[in-house]
Amino acid sequence: MEISIGKTKLKTITGDITTQSTDAIVNAANSGLMGGGGVDGAIHRAGGTAILEDCKKIIAKIGRLPTGEAVITTAGNMPSKHVIHTAGPVWHGGGQNEEKKLKNCYAESLKVAMDNGLKTIAFPSVSTGIYGYPVNRASDAAVEAVIDFIKKNPGALFEQVIFCGFDSNTEKEYARALKERI
Ligand code: ADP
């Protein structure tokens, strides 16, 4: 599934984000930035120790990465050039500002990408694994946040933003969310 917003293509795929050859892939990290399970573990395994070294330097400076914010590191041995790490919200039922926090993850990741002049970026389905955010709601929030950012930042040079589901059901939800906003 693919749609265009101005000069930017928004695309959904099913697959392993660590194999994407984009300028950046996004990591659904946690505030400690020391690696973990799910996509975080896969990214650190595929990229090698250079990613953790960069993360340690960042943590030495900022202490912890607040939920909804994003930082950039090398992608180490992966085909992408950078990893943008964002800390998603844990799902508590929807009453604890989870939607706003999740949207911030996407907006802040795109801001970091824009500030670094990046053109292609792939997102996993942030917060919908271990953090328990329902994928139908997460896809709506993600797609809204990305479209909103692109419309508000015409100076960004994004050519392609990819929503990378790990399974076809996740991709379907992102495709539905995109179609509803054409
Ligand atoms: P969170 O803690 O933010 O919920 P998870 O890594 O547990 O993060 O899950 C986020 C999403 O990433 C889930 O949809 C999970 O299936 C998916 N995922 C796990 N491994 C990969 C991978 N290698 N590539 C793309 N997505 C992945």
Domain that holds residue 34: 2-179
H or E stretch including 13? strand 8-14
Residues contacting 143, CB < 8 A, separation 6+? 10, 163, 174, 177, 178, 181
Q: C-alpha angle 155/106/120, rounded to 5°?
A: 55
Q: How many residues does the chain have?
A: 182
The model carries a pTM of: 0.99
Q: What is the pLDDT of residues 27-73, one digit of tens each?
A: 999 999 999 999 999 999 999 999 999 999 999 999 999 999 999 99
Q: What is the pLDDT of residues 76-97, one digit of tens each?
A: 999 999 999 999 999 999 999 9
Atom 21 (ligand 1): residue with closest C-alpha? 39
DSSP string, 104-169: HHHHHHHHHHHHTT--EEEE--TTSSTT---HHHHHHHHHHHHHHHHHH-TT----EEEEEESSHH
- Total domains, the chain: 1
Q: Among 16, 23, 40, 54, which one carries the catalytic annotation?
A: 40
Query: Residue 129 Cα, ligand 1 centroid: separation in angstroms?
Result: 5
Ligand 1 neighbours, Cβ below 6 Å, are: 16-18, 28, 38-40, 42, 88, 124-131, 164, 166, 170
Looking at residue 27, what is its pLDDT?
99
The mean predicted confidence, pLDDT, of the chain is 98
CATH number at residue 75: 3.40.220.10
- Ramachandran bin of 84, using left for φ above 0, alpha for ψ from -120 to 50, beta for the remaining angles: beta
